């Protein structure tokens, strides 16, 4: 006896079902209309579900954005509250530190008040007497205050007159200062040139004096001859008196004295 496989059994069952379904459709037309109407209803339900799902997703997105904004606000509030808490803790710590100091310094409050009063009195006295001049053995009509008032009035008048004359104008003062600076530079340059010229003249004068002395010496040596020269320069012991006389004669005699150039 032959045994059928499961695949063959399924194929045969499907064939039988299709044949039975087609046969039933051919036999009952109302059943096909019912199936079509159910298919249409299922399609409509699917479209409606998709539309409602899109609306639900949009609403969910809006709710998510709102929740994110609320989260940011809550985080900001949390940071502010945390900062306020830290500030209060610091203030509490400062109060804990300052309270002992206040208790320790409270006895000195009265001393501080008395010092303030004394300092105010001293400042008033100093302000009253700061314009007093240390004048000794000098007579001032009306006292020092009247003298200062008169001096202030005279100084004001002098300043006004100088302003009218243009002496106090800043522009003219600037021009005068520039001119003085230029004059100073020119004076320094001329002074330097004069110093150089004077040094050059001194050098020339020394050279001329040297040349004149050499010329005079040469003329005198030629006029006196070799013997007086030996006596003049070497001053021999055997003729000491004659030598001295001869030595003094050229300086004292006007005839033998050479002329200066």
pLDDT at residue 78, rounded to an integer: 93
Residue labelled with tokens 């001049």: 133
Give the pLDDT band of residue 81 (cuts 50, 70, 90). very high
How far apart are the C-alpha atoms of 203 and 197, rounded to whole Å? Answer: 10
Give the pLDDT band of residue 22 (cuts 50, 70, 90). low
How far apart are the C-alpha atoms of 183 and 189, rounded to whole Å? Answer: 10
Direct distance between the N- and C-terminal alpha carbons of the chain, in angstroms, rounded to an integer: 178
pLDDT at residue 254, rounded to an integer: 42
Segment among 26-30, 64-68, 153-157, 204-208 with least mean pLDDT: 26-30
How far apart are the C-alpha atoms of 135 and 150, rounded to whole Å? Answer: 16
Per-residue pLDDT of 54-68, as tens digits, reads 888 888 899 999 999
Segment among 89-103, 150-164, 243-257 with least mean pLDDT: 243-257
Mean pLDDT computed over every residue of the chain: 73
pLDDT at residue 247, rounded to an integer: 42
How far apart are the C-alpha atoms of 12 and 14, rounded to whole Å? Answer: 5
CA 130 to chain centre: 39
pLDDT at residue 259, rounded to an integer: 41
1 compared with 79, residue with greater pLDDT: 79
19 compared with 150, residue with greater pLDDT: 150
How far apart are the C-alpha atoms of 204 and 76, rounded to whole Å? Answer: 99
246 compared with 52, residue with greater pLDDT: 52
pLDDT at residue 73, rounded to an integer: 93
Predicted model pTM: 0.27
pLDDT at residue 136, rounded to an integer: 57
pLDDT at residue 82, rounded to an integer: 94
pLDDT at residue 240, rounded to an integer: 47
pLDDT at residue 24, rounded to an integer: 52
230 compared with 174, residue with greater pLDDT: 174
Give Cα separations from 194 to 5, 200, 217, 243 (angstroms): 143, 10, 34, 48
How far apart are the C-alpha atoms of 216 and 225, rounded to whole Å? Answer: 14
User: SS3 helix, strand, coil % of the chain, rounded to 5?
Assistant: 85, 0, 15
Give Cα separations from 27 to 24, 56, 110, 188, 233 (angstroms): 5, 46, 122, 142, 183
List Cβ neighbours of 135 (8 Å cut-off, separation of 6 or more).
Answer: 144
Give the pLDDT band of residue 13 (cuts 50, 70, 90). low
List Cβ neighbours of 12 (8 Å cut-off, separation of 6 or more).
Answer: 4
Give the pLDDT band of residue 142 (cuts 50, 70, 90). low
Q: Which helix (H) or strand (E) holds 157?
A: helix 143-165
pLDDT at residue 231, rounded to an integer: 65
216 compared with 30, residue with greater pLDDT: 216
Find out whether 159 and 168 touch, Cβ atoms under 8 Å.
yes
* Token digits of residue 59: 């609403």
């Amino acid at each position: 006896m032959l045994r059928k496989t499961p695949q063959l059994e399924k194929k045969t069952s499907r064939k039988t079902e299709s044949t039975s379904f087609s046969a039933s459709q051919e036999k009952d037309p109302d059943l096909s209309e019912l199936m079509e109407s159910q298919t249409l209803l299922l399609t409509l339900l699917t479209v409606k579900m998709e539309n409602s799902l899109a609306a639900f997703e949009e609403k969910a997105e809006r709710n998510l954005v709102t929740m994110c904004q609320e989260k940011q606000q809550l985080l900001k509030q949390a940071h502010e509250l945390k900062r306020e808490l830290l500030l209060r803790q610091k203030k509490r710590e400062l109060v804990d530190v300052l309270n002992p100091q206040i208790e320790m310094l409270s006895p000195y409050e009265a001393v501080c008040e008395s010092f303030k009063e004394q300092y105010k009195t001293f400042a008033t006295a100093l302000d009253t007497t700061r314009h007093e001049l240390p004048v000794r053995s000098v007579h001032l009509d009306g006292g020092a205050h009247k003298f200062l008032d008169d001096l202030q009035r005279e100084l004001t008048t002098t300043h006004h007159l100088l302003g009218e004359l243009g002496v106090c104008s800043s522009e003219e003062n600037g021009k005068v200062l520039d001119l003085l600076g230029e004059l100073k530079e020119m004076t320094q340059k001329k002074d330097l040139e004069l110093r150089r010229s004077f040094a050059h003249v001194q050098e020339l004068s020394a050279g001329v004096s040297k040349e004149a002395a050499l010329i005079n010496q040469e003329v005198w040596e030629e006029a006196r001859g070799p013997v007086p020269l030996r006596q003049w320069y070497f001053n021999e012991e055997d003729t000491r008196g004659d030598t001295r006389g001869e030595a003094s004669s050229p300086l004292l005699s006007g005839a033998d004295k050479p002329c200066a150039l």
